[in-house]
Structures are given as structure tokens and as C-alpha cells.
Copies of this chain bind each other. A is one copy, B any other.
Amino acid sequence: MADDKAKTDQCKTDIGTARKFRDEIPAIVEELASSCARHDCFDHVGPEPIPSREAIIDTVHMACRILYPGYFIRTRVDEVNVGYYFGQELTALFEALSEQIMLAIRHDCIRHNQVCTNCEERGQQAAIGFLSGMPKLRVLLATDIKAAYEGDPAAKSFDEIIFSYPGLFAVTVYRIAHQLHTSNIPLIPRIMTEYAHSRTGIDIHPGADIGESFFIDHGTGVVIGETTTIGKRVRIYQGVTLGALSLGREELESLRNKKRHPTIEDDAIIYSNATVLGGKTVIGARSVIGGNVWIIDSVPPDTELFLKKQELVLKDKNIK
């Protein structure tokens, strides 16, 4: 009985404590809401809708279902319905992509206080332009798949590569994003490649220019910068950075939109954790760059370049 009393009281207390703390919420709301009018916080409080990260990621998967028909769906595609399949998928991608591009263009206009004309039509035009490029994209990606098969003795089949190789996924998303980047679509390409980055650890800027038959093995930690140029049949491994030279803060701003990242010529191979830096650095055709090297000067064609054998300090643990 006394026990019951204790419980009842506690019940009231529980509701009471919750209430005590909830009463603090309005003041926090007030403070947060007022912060949105200030300049020391970022927010997107305004009447116009913005592109949706989630919707853009959806378009990436829609594009993948078209580029690799039959792989990423549970229903069956055969000769009978392959045309219907492409038709419905392309129509859906057209609608989703043109809306996001329109939102991105409008958002950019508003940000720059520009007059935003024909944004809907421009979105549709860019979307259909992207769709028109998909057949060629399929041919290009087929070269990447073959390069992966030839470059990795652990690969058992093409299917395994399409299903599970993160390098192929990252390159596929890069090629999608690069095509949109080439059409000057703002914001969307970068959201796409960062999505791939988040899934694979491979960070390829949509502005990079990469030739056919490109293969990234394992891939985690790869960084390929905005103004990198990569030729045909290049192969790189995990942890490779194709980056800009280190710079002081004051120099950074002057470099926006300049060539800051290296050039890799046809048939070059760059092994794991190698770092290649600088806009004037060229890795010549057919050269092989060994793992963990640090390169800030050009390497001529047909060269093999490896780290000199390190002097290592051995300690006999038993002695220590």
C-alpha cells in the first residue's frame, strides 16, 4: 500500500520533471529562430524551394539502373520488356532530374541576384541532354569494367565487378556528374560525387577529366582534384592523391578555376598511397609510380619510379 503510494507519486514526479524541462524549450526556440536573421549562422529560411540531396541521390540510382540494366532491380528484364523498362526509367529520370536541375539553377540565380529566366525549360533541356548522352556513357563505362577485370586477378567475373567494386561505382557516379558539370549545372554534380565518396572513400571532383578504361582498385582514400587530367587505360590504387600543391592561405583564393592538379598520361599506373601534386606535374605515358612515393615534379614517359629501399631500424624485442 505504501509501495503503491510511492509509485503513484513517482508517476506524478516523472510527468513533472518532463514538464519542468519541456518548459525550457520555448526560450531555445526563440533563440534559434532569432539566430536565423543574423549573419553568424547559416540557414535556408526563405520562400523558394532548394534542391534536395535525397532526390539527387535518387537520380544517381535511377541512372545506374539505366546504365546497368537488369543488375540493380529485383524484377526481371528480358528481350520482351527491355524497351518498356528503358522507357519508363528514362521518363522517370527525365522528370526527377529536370526538377532538381531547375531548382539548382533557380537557387543559383537567386544567390547571385540574377534574373532567373526559363529555369523550367533550362532544367528540361539539361535533363534531356543528359539522357541523350547515356548510350555513349554505357559504352564508356564498359571500357572501365573491362579495365577492372584485366587489372585485378581477384576478379572472378564482370558481374562481380558491376555488383560490388567500389571503384566502378565511384567512376560511374563521377562520369554521370562530370557530364552535368560540363553542362554548367551547379551544386548537383558535387552532391553526386560526395555521395559516391561517402559510399566508397573515393573522392573524384566532377570537374576532373578522365579517359576511357579507368580502373581504381580498392580505392579507399583516393582523391582526384578538380583540374586533374587523366588519359586512357590508367590504373590507380587505394590512398592515391592527385592533388594541389600546399599553399598558404593568401594564395588559395587566387587559384579558384586555375589548373592546380596533375596530368596523368595514357597507360600510367599509380600504386597505393602515392601522392602526386601540382598543376604542372605530368606523369608520362606508360610510367609506373610505386606505392607511398611523393611526387611534385614531372616523370617522363616509360619510366618506373619506386621508393628507394628505406633504412629501417630493427630492435630485438627480447633485448629491450
Contacts of A46 in B (CB 8 A): 70, 77-78
Partner of A25, one of B91, B197, B294: B91
Q: A223 contacts which of B131, B238, B269 (Cβ < 8 Å)?
A: B238
A229 within 8 Å of B (CB atoms): no
Known contacts A42-B68, A317-B302, A317-B304; is A157 also within 8 Å of B269 by CB?
no
- Closest approach, in angstroms, between the C-beta of A52 and any C-beta of chain B? 5
Contacting pair A203 B187 (CB below 8 A): no
Cβ-defined contact, B107 with A159, below 8 A: yes
Confirm or deny: A263 has a beta carbon within 8 angstroms of a beta carbon on chain B: no
A128 to B21, CA, bound (A): 6
Residues of A151-188 at the interface with B, using a CB-CB cut-off of 8 Å, are: 151-154, 156-160, 162-166, 186-187
Say yes or no: B291 contacts A162, CB within 8 Å: no
Give per-residue flags for A128-163: 1 if the beta carbon is below 8 A from chain B beta carbons, else 0. Answer: 100110110011011001000011111011111011
Q: Are B260 and A78 in contact (CB under 8 A)?
A: no
For residue A124, CB closer than 8 A to chain B, the reply is: yes
Expressed in whole angstroms, the Cα–Cα distance for A313 and B304 within the complex equals 8
Number of A positions contacting B (CB below 8 A): 174
A135 touches B28 (CB 8 A): yes
Report chain B residues within 8 Å CB of A77: 43-46
CA distance A164 to B173 in the complex (A): 14
State whether A86 touches B32 (Cβ < 8 A): yes
Among B6, B152, B226, B294, the residue within 8 A (CB) of A154 is B226
- Mask of A4-21 contacts with B, CB within 8 angstroms, 1/0: 111110110011011111
A142/B42 contact (C-beta < 8 A), A74-B52, A255-B153, A291-B275 known:
yes
- In the bound complex, how far is the Cα of B28 from the Cα of A132, in angstroms? 6
Q: What residues on B are CB-neighbors of A36 within 8 Å?
A: 69, 82
Interface members, chain A 30-61 (any B CB < 8 Å): 30-33, 35-36, 40-55
Kindly identify which residue among B50, B53, B90, B317 contacts A29, using a CB–CB cutoff of 8 Å.
B90
A71-B44 contact given A21-B124, A201-B201, A238-B221, CB 8 Å threshold: yes
Interface centre among A5, A30, A54, A154 (most CB of B within 10 A): A154
A281, CB-defined interface residue at 8 Å: no
10 residue pairs, one from A and one from B, having the closest CB atoms? A84-B87, A44-B70, A164-B194, A304-B315, A4-B117, A21-B128, A81-B91, A153-B256, A17-B121, A308-B311
A and B contact pairs by CB, cutoff 8 A, 21 listed: A5-B117, A14-B121, A22-B81, A32-B134, A41-B139, A44-B70, A83-B87, A84-B85, A84-B91, A87-B87, A152-B252, A153-B244, A154-B225, A198-B200, A220-B223, A239-B239, A246-B288, A273-B275, A302-B317, A303-B317, A307-B313
